[in-house]
Amino acid sequence: MPEKLFRVALREALKEEMERDDRVFCIGEDIGLFGGSYRVTEGLLDQFGPMRVVDTPIAEEVIVGSAIGAAISGLRPVVEIMTINFSLLAYDQIVQNAAKIRYMFGGEVTVPLVVRLPGGAGHQLSSQHSHSFEALYAMIPGLLTVAPTTPEDAKGLLKAAIRTENPVMFLESMSLYNTRGEVPDDDYETPIGKAAVRRVGRDLTIVGVSRQAVLAGLAAQRLEDEDVDAEVIDLRSLRPIDWSTLIDSVQKTNRCLVVEEGWTTYGVGAEVAAGLQQRVFDDLDAPILRLGGAEVPMPYNRELERAAIPSVDDIVREALRVVGRRVAA
């Protein structure tokens, strides 16, 4: 399979779905002439024109509200929000309308809407552009929430999201846009609701959320030097959660660490830890540990920002705690 950039895999998914189904269109700020803030939509305006690649004013609530109306009317909009922080301006539309309309109309009306949400820190974009708000969307019934970490999954999950009849919050870590990976040439979907076992191990399970799944894989390599064999699970789908894969893994390893970039208080890791404790309590040989970002607004200063995000070193340290190894202060 050819290797492609994460951003290119997303672009291919959009292009192929727009070619396959003329109901699919993109809408958002700077996605047309500028090619998108992260160059994901580059070239789509030239191919599909301004009726299907719609540049908008800076008005997130209007963008999402218009897309919801279009989805109800039979189209399949893909919204790009410049950063997940800005989606808070459209939170009312997403939670009160997109998530609830199918339920409120007894299933007679669907909302086949995708909202692409770049997020995460590491680029000195400061507090209003850098957070990981996965929990804000994963907690809402009626929304599907996914977070791909490989170019293959970026393309496959975006295709699956566009084709479903439900609203999908599509979380993209900005730190992954320039990563490379193999992407199949044929048409395929990555199933929503299915986690990926990235590494098989026996001593503990590390569950990673979004980019932290990638760092968990690097930490697992480091843990080999400590004679610790870690299994790494890329959660990939935050709602619904693939409890079956998580249960099978923890029943085998008997230990678990959950890692996310967002805040741990009320975070995705809290839900995973609580859910596993309910389901596999008798199989646990140690408490489930959670690792997340520092509970502060994201700093602008480069070193402070780095300190606020879980690193490979942090994951290794917490993994050693889970397996009962003494860790130097």
CATH number at residue 273: 3.40.50.920
What is the DSSP track for 174-215?
A: GGGTT-EEE--SS---PPTT--EEEE--SSEEEEE-THHHHH
Give yes or no: residues 167 and 218 share one domain.
no
Structural tokens at position 200: 């098989």
Domain holding 178, by residue range, is 3-182
For residue 129, indicate whether it is catalytic: yes
Residue 143 resides in a domain: yes
Residue 28 resides in a domain: yes
For residue 60, indicate whether it is catalytic: yes
Residue 136 resides in a domain: yes
Residue of 17, 29, 129, 318 marked catalytic: 129
Residue 263 resides in a domain: yes
Domain boundary residue, one of 182, 217, 234: 182
Going residue by residue through the chain, which has 329 residues, state the pLDDT in tens, using 9 for 90 and above.
899 999 999 999 999 999 999 999 999 999 999 999 999 999 999 999 999 999 999 999 999 999 999 999 999 999 999 999 999 999 999 999 999 999 999 999 999 999 999 999 888 888 888 899 999 999 999 999 999 999 999 999 999 999 999 999 999 999 999 999 999 999 999 999 999 999 999 999 999 999 999 999 999 999 999 999 999 999 999 999 999 999 999 999 999 999 999 999 999 999 999 999 999 999 999 999 999 999 999 999 999 999 999 999 999 999 999 999 877 65
Q: For the chain, what is the domain count?
A: 2
| Rg of the chain in Å (alpha carbons) | 20
Residue of 29, 60, 80, 172 marked catalytic: 60
Give yes or no: residues 132 and 255 share one domain.
no
Residue 115 and residue 81 in contact, taking contact as beta carbons nearer than 8 Å: yes
The answer, as to whether pTM is greater than 0.85, is yes
For residue 248, the model assigns a pLDDT of 98
Give yes or no: residues 92 and 149 share one domain.
yes
